[in-house]
A and B are shown apart, each in its own frame.
Chain A
């Protein structure tokens, strides 16, 4: 019989990913391209465990990123809480296949993040808004979409092996 993964495991994992993303551990290529791994992990976790986990994991990892980065407190926490909630709503309603849905999820999450960023920057930090139109943002979104099937597949594998262990 498979047991459900507790919500705190998702939250703790996402906090760890946030720490790794700000530190020097990710491979140089990912660091150079500034791929938002937290976003992809959050989307997967929210889809797996629902809105409450999505919100709490998004809020806590966003808050951590706010503390460690140059962004003002509340910027990432707002973005990731909203995205965690929205993708939590898809739990049980959308079937996550191997290729198409990860691509669609990554595209949707990136666009939602971009839209919310636009409004937050417009209201609170207007001098940063021109950065959203940069080539780097487009490359980042492209890389996130490209990597999403691989990262989702990795997370599926980890989930399956945990369930197999529980069955023993």
Chain B
């Protein structure tokens, strides 16, 4: 018995290595078919709270530094305005600038209010650290009324553009699977010619999407730059959300349908604010 203990003690490192690797492999085997099951969800909910806290501290520090910058800018503007007060014409020009800015902001606000879908505003608080899996985390969760698979959109030049869908939820945050992911499929149609197809993400390292199963007769009706929208047919996503623009048309002779390469309207590398639709989608 004593020799067994001394043997185990001698091989302690190897035993720990085997236990840890064994756990990882079993977890991988169980999870590889469903990456959002219970144990992962439990861990995600717990650590997401800490992640949210750290994000909060980061944002607070950012805000403090931004405040210093803003204070400096305001001081500069104040001195400038004092000088401008002496010159009527300069003040008048400044007034015109402000009027233009005001009308621009009003236009953006009106566009946002005109969005026909009921939505929740959300801010992107974290992005996927690796290169193999794509997605990001937003600061709205189950407690805010979000549902799994709810469509996520962003406004691009006033157009409601599809970003992705809610993949998993914690109480205060949610993970979003973007339409560029290989696991994302969206029922779509050409906005002008009305031909239908299926849009699929190309995954890692690719910023474009693929639209397949389009009737070959559509070849002459589809042009570079045409807009693609959601069709709403048997889909999680409501109709008429903008997906992207046609970048390339592939029409192989031996194939019975067309394949299009689509450039998404949304620039995922600069995404900061999104809207999660609370009606017309989700499970």
B126 contacts chain A at the CB level, 8 A cutoff: yes
Beta-carbon contact of A70 and B40 below 8 Å: no
Beta-carbon contact of B27 and A69 below 8 Å: no
Q: A72-B28, A132-B132, A135-B205 are in contact. Are A127 and B182 (CB under 8 A)?
A: yes
Contact flags B44-59 to A (C-beta < 8 A → 1, else 0)? 1011101100110011
Distance, CA A59 to CA B25, complexed state (A): 12
Chain B positions within 8 Å of A110 at CB level: none
Q: Which of B17, B51, B167, B204 contacts A22 (CB 8 A)?
A: B51
Closest CB of chain A to B83's CB: distance in Å? 36
Beta-carbon contact of B40 and A66 below 8 Å: yes
Q: A74-B28, A127-B182 are in contact. Are A23 and B126 (CB under 8 A)?
A: yes
Q: A70-B134, A70-B167, A82-B21 are in contact. Are A23 and B28 (CB under 8 A)?
A: no
Distance, CA A55 to CA B17, complexed state (A): 7
B3 contacts chain A at the CB level, 8 A cutoff: no
- Cβ < 8 Å to B, chain A residues 111-167: 117, 120-121, 124-125, 127-128, 130-132, 134-137, 140
B128 contacts chain A at the CB level, 8 A cutoff: yes
By the criterion of a CB under 8 Å from any partner CB, how many residues of chain A are at the interface?
A: 50
Beta-carbon contact of B24 and A59 below 8 Å: yes
Closest CB of chain A to B165's CB: distance in Å? 13
Q: A77-B27, A124-B28 are in contact. Are A70 and B133 (CB under 8 A)?
A: yes
Beta-carbon contact of B28 and A130 below 8 Å: no
Contact flags B160-188 to A (C-beta < 8 A → 1, else 0)? 00000001000000010100001000000
Distance, CA A124 to CA B26, complexed state (A): 11
Q: Which of A24-32, A41-49, A92-100 touches B?
A: A24-32
- Cβ < 8 Å to A, chain B residues 9-61: 12-13, 16-17, 20-21, 23-32, 35, 39-40, 43-44, 46-48, 50-51, 54-55, 58-59
Beta-carbon contact of B32 and A72 below 8 Å: yes
Beta-carbon contact of A78 and B21 below 8 Å: yes
Chain B positions within 8 Å of A85 at CB level: 13, 17
Beta-carbon contact of B51 and A68 below 8 Å: yes
Tally of A-B residue pairs with Cβ under 8 A?
151
| B interface secondary structure, majority | helix
Distance, CA A59 to CA B17, complexed state (A): 10
Beta-carbon contact of A72 and B27 below 8 Å: yes
| A interface secondary structure, majority | helix
By the criterion of a CB under 8 Å from any partner CB, how many residues of chain B are at the interface?
A: 49
- Cβ < 8 Å to A, chain B residues 43-95: 43-44, 46-48, 50-51, 54-55, 58-59
Closest CB of chain B to A28's CB: distance in Å? 10
Distance, CA A50 to CA B27, complexed state (A): 26
Beta-carbon contact of B28 and A75 below 8 Å: yes
Beta-carbon contact of B203 and A74 below 8 Å: no
11 contacts between A and B (CB under 8 A): A22-B51, A51-B13, A67-B44, A68-B44, A68-B48, A72-B28, A73-B40, A74-B29, A81-B24, A121-B132, A128-B132
Supplied contacts A19-B54, A81-B21, A131-B204, 18 more A-B pairs, CB within 8 Å: A19-B47, A23-B51, A32-B269, A34-B131, A36-B130, A51-B17, A64-B47, A65-B129, A67-B47, A68-B44, A69-B135, A70-B167, A70-B175, A72-B27, A72-B40, A73-B43, A77-B27, A136-B204
B contact residues vs A (CB 8 Å cutoff): 12-13, 16-17, 20-21, 23-32, 35, 39-40, 43-44, 46-48, 50-51, 54-55, 58-59, 125-135, 167, 175, 177, 182, 203-205, 269
